[in-house]
Structure 1
Amino acid sequence: MHSIWRLVLFSLIAMVSAITHGNWQAAYAEKELEASVLQRRAEMECRQGDWRRALLDLDQAILLKPHSGDLYLDRAKAKASNGDVPGAISDCSQSIKLDPKAIEAYVLRGKFELDREAYKKALADSNQVLRLNSRSSAGFFIRGCAKSELGDRSGALLDFNEALRLNPRDAYTLFQRGWLKSSLNDFKGAVADYSASIQVDPDPVVYINRGYAYMDLKDYPRAIEDFNSAVRLDCSLSKAYYGRALVKWHSKDFRGSVEDNSIAIKLNPEYAEAFVNRGCSRHDLGNFEEAFADYKEAIRIKPELAKAYTSRANTWLAVKNFKATLEDCKKALSLDPKDPETYYYRGLARRGLKDAAGAKQDFEEALKLDSDYRQARDALSTIK
């Protein structure tokens, strides 16, 4: 009798266990399905730019499916697009914790670290990407950006070269390599990279940077064409007007330079460099009081901008206030001790104050820094 009841009891336990297990499986499948629906809806909301709703859906999906690294990655992208870069980095880290070989998580985190200027962390993430996949163009790109910002420009150039060997039509890598070449004074190489980037994606920012490279090559007609193209593509970019103002100043179109600098300042009232260049143009038009006002505003905005003091020193020279020239040159040289123009202006002021020995020393220093500085050479020849 006991054995019969024991058999019945075991049968009941088995039935309850089967029912419970079946319910658990059904509940798990239901959660998986609901999380997938929420994830797909969040993707659509992201495409529409509705980051708030996307984040709400992804939060709910993660509650239903907390061990999904993909969900954390999706939420990281949404957070970054919504301006929450620290939150995006945190989600990438959680994705990596769930799957230490998740390359995309390291790539995304590396890019986000670049955005917040945490270059050593970006470098570490890019190295991990390349350990997991030695042919990752994204890994080389991130590492190149990090190295460039950390001062290893030759290493950065090698990484950008490798990234482009693996993905030769990546517009942003071409742009970054162009920018790096400009910083290395390889302006022809920069123009080539910017041009290749524009062929893939005609971005106004790339036109602006190519315009500056052409300006460094003294190819002013092409430079102004690029700044014009940037303005046509996006008339809200203050740097396009400032670049065009610089070209006009170099071309001695001082009124045109004042106009473009004024537009740049209207778009960005804190644009110190535009105030300086407008001051220089007003100086060349003989409007010294307006020039002084522009330099004063530039210094208020950016007191560490050496060019503002150097330019004001030149205008002090024009009104023969040699002592004020010396003061501004002293300040400028404390900020940038290798600017030949500042030494030249100080030399002129010292000559005006009958300090021939000091003037000679400054003209010689200007020529030491720039052996092609004709005005400094001519001024030196006047010192007995």
Structure 2
Amino acid sequence: MNGEHHESGEGDWCDHSDSGFRTLDGLSREEILRALAGLDERLRADSEDAYSLLARGMLHSRLGDDRRATEDFTRVIELEPDNAEALENRAAARSDLGELLLAREDYDALIRLEPDNAVALYSRGACLAKLGDLDGAVGDLDQAIALEPDDPIPYYNRGCTHAEMGDPRRALEDFDRAIALAPTNPTFHHYRGMAHRELGELDKAVSDFDTALRLEPLSNPSRNARAVARVMQGEYDEALADFDAVLALDLDNADALSGRGVARSAFGNYEDGISDFTSATRRIGRRKRESAKGPVCTSMTMALGGSEVHGEKMNREMRRWENIKCGMVMGGWLGMACLGRKPGLGWTRPVAAGRA
């Protein structure tokens, strides 16, 4: 898998990895475009050339055009209903498009054709996890591991799923196994660090985030996650340095702004803390998301400031909070961190599939 994290925040729980049949690693964009031109010419001569349709679909997918890829894979399946590779690739493309129910149908059809296909099983498991069927996901991943015990991806996916089920200890066991099989994968170290952090094992969490950053130095999610762990340890200087480094690469990173607000408030720098929380809330607004967490933390920071003016602002912010009535999208740790408590860090459902 490519080891990519989410670009914002510190990486949601979790980036489940699906099939890697479509990657065509090693081809440049220019080579792909030349190949597409050749396939277009062949298909003008024979529109029912299933091999060329499949190849063209894979190239479209490599370019990130999953809609056109899906159209080509669908045409192959119309010509050859039992074409397992076309089913596999269409399922993955549909998953990337967010068409998860259709993707699951393709994986179901593929597994009926090839019940011992471990890749199809762990790919369907990733799809089921994104649909919220965590028990079904674990069942598929257990089967995939039984079939291919030396493949790290199903261990990683099962670890993510256990984490989402609220069992970070079992998640940690799976991430350990994935790392034993693929020790240079930064994603595995990142999410093992998240599991350690959830368990309160902060030194181990920081160590894993350190490793992830050595393997992928520009990983903002790992740097942000390490900063959060350092806030929880009370190491505010180090946390500030990490948050600043995240923001140097991504000025609009609302999670890093919020975290820096916590760290600044811990030093008594309440005005800058308020500024960071306010900026974070505005950036979330630009993404057309409502946020309770910005107003809540602004209010808490104002309260910690202790002045009468801040108290008046706090009351205003709390009334604003009462009017918002929405989910806390900035992460469950932040409000408690403002109060100086060590929070539990929740796991969120996957929003994108990684590629093997």
Same fold (TM over 0.5): yes
Looking at structure 1, the residues matched to 157 and 321 of structure 2 have their Cα atoms a distance apart, in angstroms, of: 31
Q: Which runs of 5+ in 1 are unaligned?
A: 1-42, 347-369, 371-384
1:194-239 deviation per Cα after TM superposition (whole angstroms, max 9, x unaligned) = 2222233322122111111110111111111111111111111101
Matches within 5 A, 1:181-260: 181-201=162-182, 202-260=184-242
| From 264, 287, 296, the counterpart of 1:310 | 296
Looking at CA atoms only, which structure, 1 or 2, has the larger radius of gyration?
A: 1
Matches within 5 A, 1:352-367: none
Structure 2 residue 130 is the aligned partner of structure 1 residue 139: no
Cα distance change, pair 51–122 in 1 and its aligned pair in 2 (3 A): same
Is residue 158–residue 174 contact of structure 2 (8 Å, CA) maintained in 1?
A: yes
Q: Aligned Cα RMSD in Å?
A: 2.8
| From 317, 325, 331, the counterpart of 2:314 | 325
Residue 62 of structure 2 corresponds to 81
Aligned AA for 1:160? L
> How much does 1:343 deviate?
10
Is residue 313–residue 345 contact of structure 1 (8 Å, CA) maintained in 2?
A: no
Cα distance change, pair 126–327 in 1 and its aligned pair in 2 (3 A): farther
Is residue 77–residue 86 contact of structure 2 (8 Å, CA) maintained in 1?
A: yes
Looking at structure 1, the residues matched to 140 and 196 of structure 2 have their Cα atoms a distance apart, in angstroms, of: 25
Aligned AA for 2:293? K
Cα distance change, pair 77–214 in 1 and its aligned pair in 2 (3 A): same
Cα distance change, pair 343–268 in 1 and its aligned pair in 2 (3 A): closer
Is residue 295–residue 308 contact of structure 1 (8 Å, CA) maintained in 2?
A: yes
1:347-377 deviation per Cα after TM superposition (whole angstroms, max 9, x unaligned) = xxxxxxxxxxxxxxxxxxxxxxx9xxxxxxx
| From 244, 247, 272, the counterpart of 1:265 | 247
Residue 66 of structure 1 corresponds to 47
Between stretches 92-101 and 187-196, larger displacement belongs to: 187-196
Aligned AA for 2:173? A
Matches within 5 A, 1:100-119: 100-119=81-100
SS at match of 2:265: helix
SS at match of 1:218: coil
Cα distance change, pair 129–340 in 1 and its aligned pair in 2 (3 A): closer
Aligned residues: 306
Residue 47 of structure 1 corresponds to 26
Looking at structure 2, the residues matched to 340 and 198 of structure 1 have their Cα atoms a distance apart, in angstroms, of: 27
1:144-187 deviation per Cα after TM superposition (whole angstroms, max 9, x unaligned) = 22221222111111111112222223322222211111111211
1:285-321 deviation per Cα after TM superposition (whole angstroms, max 9, x unaligned) = 1111111111111001114233322221211101233
Aligned AA for 2:147? L
Aligned AA for 1:325? M
Looking at structure 2, the residues matched to 209 and 155 of structure 1 have their Cα atoms a distance apart, in angstroms, of: 21
| From 79, 87, 100, the counterpart of 1:98 | 79
Cα distance change, pair 91–344 in 1 and its aligned pair in 2 (3 A): closer
Cα distance change, pair 344–232 in 1 and its aligned pair in 2 (3 A): closer
TM-score calculated relative to the size of structure 2 = 0.79
1:6-40 deviation per Cα after TM superposition (whole angstroms, max 9, x unaligned) = xxxxxxxxxxxxxxxxxxxxxxxxxxxxxxxxxxx
Residue 335 of structure 1 corresponds to 326
TM-score calculated relative to the size of structure 1 = 0.73
Cα distance change, pair 328–48 in 1 and its aligned pair in 2 (3 A): same
Residue 259 of structure 2 corresponds to 277
Aligned AA for 1:307? K
| From 87, 94, 106, the counterpart of 1:125 | 106
Q: Which runs of 5+ in 2 are unaligned?
A: 1-21, 345-356
Is residue 230–residue 240 contact of structure 1 (8 Å, CA) maintained in 2?
A: yes
Cα distance change, pair 46–144 in 1 and its aligned pair in 2 (3 A): closer
Looking at structure 2, the residues matched to 344 and 285 of structure 1 have their Cα atoms a distance apart, in angstroms, of: 13
Cα distance change, pair 173–327 in 1 and its aligned pair in 2 (3 A): farther
